[in-house]
Amino acid sequence: MRRTRLAGALTAVLTLALVATGCGSGNGNGNGSGGGGGGAPAAKAAAAPDRVEPLAAPAAPRLPVTVDSADGRKVTVASTERIVPLSGSLSEIVFTLGLGGRVVARDITATFEQAEKLPVVTRAHDVSAESVLSLKPTLVLAEGTTGPAEAIAQIRDAGVPLVVVKPAKSLSDVGTRIDAVAAALGVPGSGSALRTRTQERIDAVRKTIPGHAEKPRVAFLYVRGSAAVYLLGGAESGASSLLEAAGAVDAGKESGLVKDFTPITSEALAKAAPDAILVMSKGLESVGGVDGLVKVPGVAETPAGVDRRVVTVDDGVLLNYGPRTDLVLSSLVDQLYGKKK
């Protein structure tokens, strides 16, 4: 997931949880929905695609280029022969632009098939500068949350061009991130083509949302059972834009939660009163599926808990806001409203 919306003290808690549980380290198939028991059947986990779809006619890089890094620096890129993207989201964009053959390492969240055999150099935004530099990269792409700062400085001090890409928090950021990566790679034309393709596919999904008098209320829960992390998403969680695009209401945001995440309490869930609960596939697996999720304090008393209505999307794509966002949105729509016959 692009995981930039975990700020402040919660960032440290979640980083420890991600490391402890290996978030996103699976094969990208993302099942693990659990389930069973009485009441209405839970929505089945959508099998997230385990491959990215490169452009049909990718362009060759035109270099050198000088681009603006999101941390205020100007960076000149002279070669893209050995690329290291330090997040799953950035890897997805590079591969979809058709330059996956030049990628020499990955973040643990880059779980799609084309990248899964590459060496891991970043875990939960904690980059190993030594591992990166050992691969002799000619370009490193980083998120604003990638760290520690000492590691980023060490990579730059070694003379490696490092471009920081502005984080994405909503659908409106998809195109700008694609453009930023494409510019750094020297393929702005491919960036424009991918941006157009992605937006057209998102628009097509939105047209399939059925009309309904009352929008479903969906709460985004970040759970990691083995690390005892149970959080309710608010306005800055990163999921609001997706839920709203799917014709739903972000129950956490609507209940007045203005931060990214807050610890789950029975009172907070009662106020959110979700009709459905959205969780990442590995998070649901970590608590023992739907049976375990409804044992989290307060969940069983919500309309979603009573109906056992749980929606899941694979960790590696849910909050990426990249070229596969249309598939994430389609999965949400299918699970919330049922696939068309």
Query: How does pLDDT run across 40-96, given as a tens digit for each residue?
Result: 334 444 444 489 999 999 999 999 999 999 999 999 999 999 999 999 999 999 999
Beta partners for residue 249, in sequence order? 217
Calculate ∠ Cα 213-217-307, nearest 5°: 100
Query: What's the pLDDT tens digit per position in 196-227?
Result: 999 999 999 999 998 876 899 999 999 999 89
What's the pLDDT at 32?
Answer: 33
Confidence of residue 124 (pLDDT cuts 50, 70, 90): low
CA 325 to chain centroid: 9
Encoded tokens for 64: 């050198």
pLDDT, tens only, 234-268: 999 999 999 999 999 999 999 999 999 999 999 99
Q: DSSP secondary structure string, 236-275? A: TSS-HHHHHHTT-EEHHHHTT--SSEEE--HHHHHHH--S
pLDDT, tens digit (0-9, with 9 covering 90-100), for 19-52: 333 333 333 333 333 333 333 334 444 444 489 9
Q: What is the pLDDT of residues 131-183, one digit of tens each?
A: 999 999 999 999 998 999 999 999 999 999 999 999 888 999 999 999 999 99
pLDDT score at 338: 85
Is the separation of the CB atoms in 21 and 315 below 8 Å? Answer: no
d(CA 150, CA 63): 29
Q: Summarize the confidence of residues 276-305 as an average pLDDT.
A: 96
Q: Pairing state of beta strands 162-165 and 229-233?
A: unpaired
Sign of the torsion angle spanned by Cα atoms 68, 69, 72, 73 = negative
Please give the span between the terminal C-alpha atoms of the chain, in angstroms, as a whole number: 31
How far, in Å, are 8, 49, 125, 237, 253 from residue 30 at the CA level? 28, 9, 21, 20, 26
How far is Cα 43 from Cα 45, in angstroms, rounded to an integer?
Answer: 6
pLDDT(294) > 70: yes
CA-to-CA dists, residue 62 to 100, 103, 243, angstroms: 16, 17, 38
Q: According to the model, what pLDDT value does residue 13 have?
A: 38
Q: What is the pLDDT of residue 339?
A: 65
- Report the predicted TM-score, pTM, of the whole model to 2 decimal places: 0.83
DSSP of 171-232: GGGHHHHHHHHHHHHT-HHHHHHHHHHHHHHHHHHHTTPPP-SSPPEEEEEEEEGGGTEEEE
Q: Which residues share a beta bridge with 221?
A: 232
Identify whether the C-beta of residue 252 lies closer than 8 Å to the C-beta of residue 244.
Answer: no
